[in-house]
């Protein structure tokens, strides 16, 4: 294997890492933190939000169980840990 191929492989690996990193940053910016009330409104079976509820139920079959919230916002908007 010549040194040229090693450089090409390194550039491809760096490019793939940069692509994964930028994709992760894009997804992280699109996440939304919901309170229990907002989640129940979002999962309510009315109109187009019904498809979101179906998707979350299907996704729940493949996860380890229901999501348990361990942090909740207080009156000032700060996150506080809660015990369940």
Q: What is the pLDDT of residues 11-21, one digit of tens each?
A: 999 999 999 99
Question: Structure pTM?
Answer: 0.39
Residue 72 CA to residue 52 CA, distance in Å, equals 23
pLDDT of 47 over the 60 cut: no
pLDDT at 21: 94
> For 49-84, what is each residue's pLDDT tens digit?
556 667 777 776 777 665 566 777 888 888 887 765
């Amino acid at each position: 294997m010549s040194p040229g191929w090693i450089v090409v492989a390194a550039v491809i690996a760096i490019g793939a890492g940069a692509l994964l990193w930028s994709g992760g940053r894009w997804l992280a910016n699109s996440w939304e933190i919901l309170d229990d009330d907002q989640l129940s409104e979002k999962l309510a079976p009315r109109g187009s939000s019904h498809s979101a509820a179906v998707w979350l139920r299907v996704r729940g079959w493949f996860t380890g169980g229901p999501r348990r919230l361990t942090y909740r916002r207080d009156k000032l908007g700060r996150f506080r840990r809660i015990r369940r």
